Structure 1
């Protein structure tokens, strides 16, 4: 089966949209009926996240680590134990495209690093900061971005690379670097699409939200 791994820390505002999108991707006709299990790792949640997750046909794992690397590692381990041949990672503040899984698997590689699209900038960044973002972001095949919100890896390659480390941030970067060292085939692709939040109050220090905050502070 295919596993979708979503870590969450106090994401009650965005979880509904995230899970609806994941379940649509899991039901795509081109998966030919292969089972897909969605697992939300509820890490130190004190809001309604657990209640929201319980309303959907998904799995939930509760931990108290306040550490996204530990959350992803724990979730990946559970999915592997349940028989996942492929693990697709996203984030609770993101929405995957309907053909997200199909696009990842269709690339025929050990791992896929996808891009993200910011849907609503709202008041997160002024126009100058948005221009700086788009100037540096490579929304194309052959990019070199690594996002936990759009990352896929085969079970075999994940095990060979040693899995996610318990890092407070950049656990996704660490895994990809290990995959490279192990000789895994990696697609840096724009085909798997994910829409993500432009919020600056990021849940993980050093993550995408902090990167946007740095852009906002750059003159």
Structure 2
């Protein structure tokens, strides 16, 4: 059975982007189904595919997976030769810690800066709690790249699940024109030059749906 990934709008669905980049890292063939969100039939269509009615969803011969981190872990185990997690026990532990923090944290950033790849405009005012999230993100990136990223421009050298999880953050920071330290700006540029991200971004630019 060919893997099938169900995603939402490419312009708006950060969770879909994470899973999509992870499956791209495997190099394996897969089918893609895009279900635009917040349409009249979106909920019913998604509930027919996922117990949560949310994206992303991965269909495989082992069943259905419906969480971006679970999907990434499954892909890492299924395609060990692709090294979706960085090499080295310590590096992998740090990458998992970073992904877990991203998966459950940074709520102010998510709330005040929802992903919108087409946007090119700063907020009129950035609340302090969002600024705190941005400072933490920049510090986390600097730590990962400084300790484990010497062999390449990504967080742990080569592109990994950690980059898949922080790509939507990089996109938010650029879309909202956030001024960043030079090393953080360099990492955002790395994400935007990542061929897989570029393919997603170009597809997002072609979408016509508008979600207020």
TM over 0.5: no
Query: What is the TM-score of this pair, normalised by structure 1?
Result: 0.29
Which has a greater percent of helix?
A: 2
Query: What is the TM-score of this pair, normalised by structure 2?
Result: 0.30
Which has a greater percent of strand?
A: 1
